[in-house]
């Protein structure tokens, strides 16, 4: 870890806790983040207010270790997508767990990564903003260790990038780019045909402000994605790399980059990248899955490749949003104080997982409780009234005003972005750290 990153992370630890950070204990105002962490407060008895998002310390570590092992086993370099968390502390934990670098989506995210000393950035987008490009060129000029790669997906984009980079002063070194192969008609960005890819590569070769270093794309955008279609597209991507190499487009490089990989099909990426023949120079096979860091309790739990290859392990949902029951207007209805401002809801509604009894502290499975909707600041809970309240009844029957409900969330990207400072919590409720996000 560089001096820049150590100093920047130290500034995070020295940040003062105050009203900006929801869920934290009011009596902690004025403490630094590191001072609060050192107190090792309990999430349930240490003054935290609901709603509060918690990140499991044990599950976070498990997920980091699992993808490190998976990537190494399959001969893949790993640049997890940082837009998932936008948390520099997690960026560095990923790098320390063997990541080649961090993938990002827009220039602002690159600025965050650079502020915290990240030295390798893959920007999974074409950059045509002149101001951003000149800033990137300046970063490349002042820091020889900084490696930056981004997409190109049009001749027009190449022209705009070249014009921007020539606008003030010729960059000290060219900006590295990869041609993005689109996943098909109706998909998101990317060049649609191999012939157009060749035209974009020719455009890059015609300027000295850019350098073509490989090919890339995102298989998650393959229309009607299934294993056969995804693998067919991935083979188009690797075949493009082979054709570019035969045409001499990678002459003079020390390595060629071939990159893909979201969080739904990285098993297919591993399989097809393993088929890639030797090129004239070594190939960096770069996987970019990002949602794994926290995983989730819905969408990604259903679609993770580890469901298809269980012998390789399993990711664990690391988020739990704790809300408190504030209204129990009828036997089959309750309301908790967390809503759209606190919980991801773009893919799935939160799922009630456990209930913590306000009186005894006992934790029960949330049997009989279903989240049916979210308002801005309320979760609508349906409870099963017919179970009764006797011994053995489900938590739905026992639910009382004041109880804490632990909610599993779906879609990590829209969970992290609602919380600026997230407690990292051990299984017994001890808060051992806090993760700062930058959205």
Percent of the chain predicted with pLDDT > 90: 93
The confidence score (pLDDT) of residue 439 equals: 96
What is the DSSP annotation of 360-375?
T--EEE-TTEEEEEE-
The confidence score (pLDDT) of residue 396 equals: 74
Question: What's the number of CA atoms in the CB half-sphere (13 Å) around residue 401?
Answer: 6
The band of 317, judged by pLDDT with boundaries at 50, 70 and 90, is: very high
The confidence score (pLDDT) of residue 46 equals: 98
pLDDT at 37 exceeding the cut of 80: yes
The confidence score (pLDDT) of residue 164 equals: 96
- 292-310 burial: b if 16+ Cβ within 10 Å, else e: bbbbbbbbbbebbbbeeee
The confidence score (pLDDT) of residue 170 equals: 65
The confidence score (pLDDT) of residue 169 equals: 64
Q: Taking a C-beta distance cutoff of 8 angstroms, is the pair 362, 324 a contact?
A: no
Percent of the chain predicted with pLDDT > 70: 97
The confidence score (pLDDT) of residue 186 equals: 84
pLDDT tens digit sequence for 210-254: 999 999 999 999 999 999 999 999 999 999 999 999 999 999 999
Q: Taking a C-beta distance cutoff of 8 angstroms, is the pair 68, 79 a contact?
A: no
Q: Taking a C-beta distance cutoff of 8 angstroms, is the pair 226, 261 a contact?
A: no
pLDDT tens digit sequence for 105-133: 999 999 999 999 999 999 999 999 999 99
The band of 397, judged by pLDDT with boundaries at 50, 70 and 90, is: confident
The confidence score (pLDDT) of residue 95 equals: 98
Top CATH class of 119-289 equals alpha beta
Determine the angle formed by the axes of helices 227-246 and 194-205, rounding to 10 degrees. Answer: 40
- Residues 265-286: what's their mean pLDDT? 98
- Domain segments of the chain as ranges: 119-289
pLDDT tens digit sequence for 170-216: 668 999 999 999 998 888 999 999 999 999 999 999 999 999 999 99
* SS3 at position 392: coil
Could you give the CA distance from residue 394 to residue 369 in angstroms, rounded to a whole number?
Answer: 8
Could you give the CA distance from residue 100 to residue 78 in angstroms, rounded to a whole number?
Answer: 5
pLDDT tens digit sequence for 50-65: 999 999 999 999 999 9
* SS3 at position 147: strand
Length of the chain (residues):
439
pLDDT tens digit sequence for 384-395: 865 444 445 677
The confidence score (pLDDT) of residue 19 equals: 97
- Residues 144-150: what's their mean pLDDT? 97
β-pairing, 351-356 vs 363-365, is antiparallel
Can you tell me which residue has the tokens 């990292």?
A: 424
Best CA proximity match to 272, nearest among 317, 308, 235, 303: 235
**Helix (H) / strand (E) containing 263:** none
The whole-chain average pLDDT of the chain stands at: 95
Best CA proximity match to 147, nearest among 48, 85, 214: 214
Please state, in angstroms and as integers, the Cα–Cα distance from residue 136 to each residue in 113, 147, 150, 179, following that order.
12, 10, 11, 19
Q: Taking a C-beta distance cutoff of 8 angstroms, is the pair 58, 426 a contact?
A: yes
The confidence score (pLDDT) of residue 168 equals: 64
């Amino acid at each position: 870890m560089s001096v820049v990153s150590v100093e920047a992370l130290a500034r995070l630890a020295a940040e003062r806790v105050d009203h900006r950070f929801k869920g934290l204990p009011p009596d902690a105002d004025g403490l630094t983040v590191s001072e609060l962490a050192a107190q090792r407060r309990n999430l349930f008895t240490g003054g935290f207010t609901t709603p509060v998002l918690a990140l499991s310390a044990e599950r976070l570590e498990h997920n980091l270790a699992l993808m490190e092992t998976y990537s190494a086993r399959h001969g893949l370099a790993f640049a997890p997508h940082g837009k998932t968390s936008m948390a520099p502390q997690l960026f560095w934990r990923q790098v320390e767990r063997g990541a080649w670098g961090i993938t990002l989506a827009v220039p602002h995210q690159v600025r965050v990564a650079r502020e915290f000393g990240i030295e390798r950035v893959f920007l999974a987008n074409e950059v045509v903003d002149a101001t951003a490009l000149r800033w990137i060129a300046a970063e490349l000029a002042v820091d020889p260790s900084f490696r930056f790669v981004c997409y190109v997906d049009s001749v027009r984009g190449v022209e705009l990038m070249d014009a921007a980079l020539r606008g003030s002063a010729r960059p000290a070194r060219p900006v590295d780019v990869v041609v993005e192969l689109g996943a098909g008609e109706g998909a998101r960005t990317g060049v649609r045909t191999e012939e157009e890819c060749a035209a974009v590569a020719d455009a890059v070769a015609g300027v000295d402000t850019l350098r073509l270093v490989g090919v890339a794309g995102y298989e998650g955008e393959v229309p009607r994605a299934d294993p056969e279609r995804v693998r067919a597209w991935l083979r188009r991507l690797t075949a493009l790399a082979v054709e570019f190499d035969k045409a001499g487009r990678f002459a003079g490089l020390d390595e060629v980059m071939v990159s893909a990989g979201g969080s739904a099909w990285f098993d297919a990426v591993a399989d097809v990248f393993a088929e890639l023949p030797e090129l004239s120079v070594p190939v960096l096979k770069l996987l970019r899955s990002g949602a794994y860091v926290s995983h989730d309790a819905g969408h990604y739990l259903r679609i993770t490749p580890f469901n298809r290859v269980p012998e390789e392990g399993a990711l664990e949902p690391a988020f739990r949003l704790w809300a408190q029951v504030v209204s129990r207007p009828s036997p089959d209805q309750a309301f908790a104080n967390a809503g759209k401002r606190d919980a991801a809801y773009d893919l799935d509604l939160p799922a009630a997982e456990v209930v913590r009894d306000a009186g005894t502290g006992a934790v029960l499975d949330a049997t009989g409780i279903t989240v049916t909707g979210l308002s801005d600041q309320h979760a609508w809970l349906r409870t099963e009234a017919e179970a009764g309240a006797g011994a053995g009844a489900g938590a739905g029957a026992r639910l009382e005003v004041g109880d804490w409900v632990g909610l599993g969330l779906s879609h990590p990207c829209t969970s992290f972005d609602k919380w600026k400072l997230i407690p990292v919590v051990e299984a017994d409720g001890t808060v051992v750290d806090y993760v700062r996000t930058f959205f």
